[in-house]
Amino acid sequence: MERDFDFVGLEIHSSRMWQLAQVDRAISFMAENGFNALIFHQSDMMNRLVLPEKYVTVKTMWEKFSALRYFDIENNQNYINLVARRAKRRGIGFYLNFKEIFYPDEIPELYPFLMNPENAVVCPSHPFWPEYIEACVEELCQRVPELSGVILSAGTHESRTSMTRQNPCGCERCRSMDAEQWYCNLFSAVYRPLKKHGIPLIVRDFTFTKGAQSTLLRAAEKAAPDVIVALKNTPHDYYPPFPNNPKIGTTKHREYVEFDTWGQFFGAGFFPVSIAEDLQQRMRFCRTKGVRGVWFRTDWEGMYENSTFNSCNMLNLYAAGRLAQNADADLDSVYQMWGMRGWIDSLQSGSYLPEPSAPKNPAAWKHMRTFMQASWQVMRKTVYVRDHWFCEDNMFPDSLDKAFKMMVKVHGRDDWEPGASQRLDPAKEENLLEIRREKQQALEQVEELRGLLAPEECEFSETTICQIDKLLALYRQYVEIGKHSCDVVFLTLLAERDRTETNRFAAKQAIKALLDVCTRTERMLAEGDDDYPQIVYWLLNVQRMKLLAADAERILQEPQEEITL
């Protein structure tokens, strides 16, 4: 039977990839739901699997550094090969997703010429690097013979050295080197050994601006016409309110598109949110653009005890598998399949491998569907401000400067939608009214979620109902923190710009309200008696509320400071 996408991947991005029970669970799910590519995504994965011995010998590790790192590499190779074989037995390919330029600490010590003596920064343009990377990839192909493909992010701010680093080397060679050629050199270094071993290279776009994205894609074309290009479903990152990535269908390469089912930008996988409808719309778009592959992230590197698999967001992964076969699939059939399996308690850390609790009422999935759809509307109005990302990894901002950096600079949409950030200017009365109305609606709508779910009518067990109530209490608190944090940010900014007594009073009232929420949150967490997983303390971040309140107070006292959009 022909399906809409040939390549259907499931990505593990956190340390869960090194827990075989978690991986076996993912492989079983994949085999049962139409996925055919298991992806391990770790920035320094190359360093975990090779020395490489061309540059750092085992003898050198024993005599100069630590033999333990070599033992780790041998152990990791055995583990990775085991995973690749287990996946292959189920008809699933195995892919590694990593970043370059990455290197272990031994390299600049053994080769000190890589470092600019004027500022002690490792030089990204040194001709050593393409040779080094090629040697790494060659050794990887030899050590992991079942490798199905390599996914490469080059030149990201998460690499150890890069032409895009915030603290560049600054040498004459770096100043004169064309960024497109630099990318091309890296891609070619990875491509050559992979081509020799018959392994495809997937160049992954992880750029922050429209211009950088175009440069990277031109470099991929220059490196080799048969590289596969991977793009995120929206520009820059996985933001459900953002428009489709405009580069999809334009690269003249075989294309894959990445999605997130976990919640990196919609609740960190802890709060249950359906993006099934969004997935369907975007996958239909991908199909019309000739995209041949899709893959779906199930966690994030910053969270090692939290994933789609210990969350009701498993719904999104079921939807992904079904829609990858047919983007026009009936979503109600997905909701029903997921709902019949039951509720997953995200209050239980992922390493415990929580199992779903099935409701007794066969029609319960309808309540669960309505709940998940409504929860997305609550989350959207909580973590976004007029569809601009308001948080830092789902934590609310700890300063006004950080808030606007997140919304406008780091995760801004002006590059793809010119003038979008003007919707955030509180000096325009209609903007401020809409921003505050949005947050008030979120607070009102989160109160309606339990009634929509109707857990008693679903006939969940008493234990599951207790879990649901505990989660919803945390959810309400999270939404309230978001509302008052937003009030502090925008009312303080307005008072900073126009220091009337009315605006100053409104800002001070907002600060007081946030500190009141902070006190209640501290009490709530204390009463939890450490029963909550660590992600709760991350999301309901007491310290950040205090820091934001203090920052706002300081700004109200220092009229000379100006915060710009």
Between vectors from CA 243 to CA 238 and to CA 244, what angle results, nearest 5°? 75
- Residue segments in the chain with a per-residue pLDDT below the cut of 50: none
| Secondary structure letter of residue 406 according to DSSP | I
H or E stretch at 389: strand 388-389
Please tell me the predicted confidence (pLDDT) of residue 543: 98
Quote the CA–CA distance of 372 and 472 in Å, as a whole number.
12
Question: Minimal CA–CA distance to 547: which of 510, 525, 520, 514?
Answer: 514
Q: 323-326, long-range: CB within 8 Å, 24+ apart, which pairs?
A: 323/4, 323/279, 323/280, 323/283, 324/3, 324/4, 324/5, 324/8, 324/34, 324/35, 324/283, 324/294, 325/3, 325/4, 325/34, 326/3, 326/4
149: which DSSP letter?
A: E
Write out the two tokens for 375. 């929860």
Distance CA 48, CA 46 (A): 5
Residue type, 509: Q
Instruction: For CA atoms 271, 277, 278, 282, give the dihedral sign.
Output: positive
Contact 190, 100 (CB under 8 A): yes
Q: Which pLDDT score is estimated for 72?
A: 94
Helix (H) or strand (E) holding 377: helix 364-383
Phi, psi of 290 (to 5 degrees): 80, 15
Q: Are 342 and 359 in contact (CB under 8 A)?
A: yes
Distance CA 32, CA 26 (A): 10
The phi and psi torsions of 33 (rounded to 5 degrees) equal -130, 20
What pLDDT, in 10s, does the model give residues 286-329?
Answer: 999 999 999 999 999 999 899 999 999 999 999 999 999 999 99
Taking the C-alpha atoms of residue 418 and residue 313, their distance in angstroms, rounded to an integer, is 33
Q: Which pLDDT belongs to residue 562?
A: 58
413-419-424 Cα angle (round to 5)? 80
CA–CA distance, 159 with 404 (Å, rounded to integer): 25
Sign of CA dihedral 97, 39, 234, 247: positive
Torsion of CA 118, 124, 130, 132, to 10 degrees: 60
User: Two tokens at 276?
Assistant: 């099934």
Report CA torsion sign: 168, 173, 176, 177: negative
Report the interhelical angle of 462-497 vs 364-383 (nearest 10°).
20
Q: Is 340 exposed, middle or buried (0-12, 13-18, 19+ CB in 10 A)?
A: middle
